[in-house]
Structure 1
Amino acid sequence: MRVLIDATAVPADRGGVGRYVDELVPQLDALGADLVLAVQARDVGHYGALAPHGRVVAAPAVAARRPVRLAWEQTGLPALARRVRADVLHCPHYTMPALAPVPVVVTLHDATFFTDPDLHLPTKARFFRAATRLATRRAAGLVVPSRATRDEVVREAGADPERFTVAYHGVDASRFHPTSAAEQQRVRATLGIGDLPYVAFLGTLEPRKNVPALVRGWVRACAELDEPPALVLAGGRGWDDDVDAALAAVPDHLVVRRTGYLPLEDLAGLLGGALAVAYPSLGEGFGLPVLEAMACGAPTLTTRALSLPEVGGDAVAYCGTSAESIADGLVGLCASPARRSELSAAAVRRAATFTWERAAREHLGAYERAAAR
Structure 2
Amino acid sequence: MPRVLVDAAAVPADRGALIRYVDGLVAALDRAGAELSVVCQRAEAERYRRLAPSAQILPGPVGITNRAARLAWEQTGLPLLARQAGADVIHAPYYSIPLSSGVPTVVTVHDATWFTEPDQHSPRAAFFRSATRTAVRHAKRVIVPSKATRDELVRVLSADPTRIDVAYHGVDLAQFHPPSEEEIRRAAMRCGLHGQPYVAFLGALDPRKNVPNLIRGFAAAVKRLDKPPALVLGGGVHEDDVDAACREVEATVRVIRPGYLRAPDLPGFLGGALVVAFPSRGEGFGLPVLEAMACGAPVLTTHRTSLPEVGGDAVAYTEPDADSIAAELGRLLASAERRKQLQEAGLARAREFTWDASAEAHLSSYQRAIE
* Same fold by TM-score greater than 0.5: yes
| 1:369 aligned counterpart, secondary structure | helix
Work out whether 1:128 is the aligned partner of 2:109.
Answer: no
Shift of 1:303: 0.3
In the TM superposition, what are the counterparts of 1:102-181 in structure 2 within 5 Å?
Answer: 102-122=103-123, 124-181=124-181
Q: 1:347 — aligned with what?
A: 346
Asked if 1 retains the 8 angstrom alpha-carbon contact of 2:17 and 2:288, the reply is: no
In the TM superposition, what are the counterparts of 1:52-91 in structure 2 within 5 Å?
Answer: 52-91=53-92
Shift of 1:186: 2.3
| 1:8 aligned counterpart, secondary structure | helix
| 2:9 aligned counterpart, secondary structure | coil
- What letter matches 1:2 in structure 2? R
Shift of 1:213: 0.4
In the TM superposition, what are the counterparts of 1:137-286 in structure 2 within 5 Å?
Answer: 137-237=137-237, 240-286=239-285
Q: 2:321 — aligned with what?
A: 322
| 2:86 aligned counterpart, secondary structure | coil
Identity of aligned residues (%): 57
Shift of 1:173: 0.5
In the TM superposition, what are the counterparts of 1:355-366 in structure 2 within 5 Å?
Answer: 355-366=354-365
- TM-superposition CA deviations, 1:162-210 (whole Å, max 9, x none): 1111111111101111112232122222222122211000001100000
Q: Report the number of matched residues.
A: 370
In the TM superposition, what are the counterparts of 1:13-32 in structure 2 within 5 Å?
Answer: 13-32=14-33
Residues in 1 aligned to 2:197 and 2:53: alpha-carbon distance in whole angstroms: 43
Residues in 1 aligned to 2:59 and 2:118: alpha-carbon distance in whole angstroms: 34
Asked if 2 retains the 8 angstrom alpha-carbon contact of 1:154 and 1:161, the reply is: yes
Asked if 1 retains the 8 angstrom alpha-carbon contact of 2:42 and 2:60, the reply is: yes
Asked if 1 retains the 8 angstrom alpha-carbon contact of 2:223 and 2:253, the reply is: no
Answer with 74-83 or 302-311: which moved more. 74-83
Shift of 1:351: 0.5
Asked if 2 retains the 8 angstrom alpha-carbon contact of 1:281 and 1:321, the reply is: yes
Shift of 1:71: 0.3
Moved over 3 A (4+): none
Shift of 1:120: 1.1
In the TM superposition, what are the counterparts of 1:286-297 in structure 2 within 5 Å?
Answer: 286-297=285-296
- TM-superposition CA deviations, 1:132-178 (whole Å, max 9, x none): 11122111111100000000011111111111111111111011111
- What letter matches 2:105 in structure 1? V
- TM-superposition CA deviations, 1:40-94 (whole Å, max 9, x none): 1111111112111111112110111000000000111111112212100100001
Shift of 1:369: 0.7
> Which sections of structure 2, spanning at least 5 residues, go unmatched?
none
TM-score, length basis structure 2: 0.97
Asked if 2 retains the 8 angstrom alpha-carbon contact of 1:145 and 1:167, the reply is: yes
> Which sections of structure 1, spanning at least 5 residues, go unmatched?
none
Residues in 2 aligned to 1:38 and 1:274: alpha-carbon distance in whole angstroms: 37
Residues in 2 aligned to 1:293 and 1:80: alpha-carbon distance in whole angstroms: 38
Residues in 2 aligned to 1:288 and 1:103: alpha-carbon distance in whole angstroms: 28
Residues in 2 aligned to 1:190 and 1:39: alpha-carbon distance in whole angstroms: 31
Residues in 1 aligned to 2:28 and 2:10: alpha-carbon distance in whole angstroms: 19
Residues in 1 aligned to 2:185 and 2:42: alpha-carbon distance in whole angstroms: 38
Shift of 1:38: 1.1
Q: 1:41 — aligned with what?
A: 42
Residues in 1 aligned to 2:178 and 2:83: alpha-carbon distance in whole angstroms: 46
Residues in 1 aligned to 2:31 and 2:77: alpha-carbon distance in whole angstroms: 28
Q: 2:301 — aligned with what?
A: 302
Answer with 126-135 or 349-358: which moved more. 126-135
Asked if 2 retains the 8 angstrom alpha-carbon contact of 1:225 and 1:335, the reply is: no
- What letter matches 1:306 in structure 2? T
Asked if 2 retains the 8 angstrom alpha-carbon contact of 1:2 and 1:36, the reply is: yes
TM-score, length basis structure 1: 0.97
Asked if 1 retains the 8 angstrom alpha-carbon contact of 2:22 and 2:93, the reply is: yes
Asked if 1 retains the 8 angstrom alpha-carbon contact of 2:144 and 2:167, the reply is: yes
Shift of 1:297: 1.1
- What letter matches 1:320 in structure 2? E
| 1:350 aligned counterpart, secondary structure | helix
- What letter matches 2:367 in structure 1? E
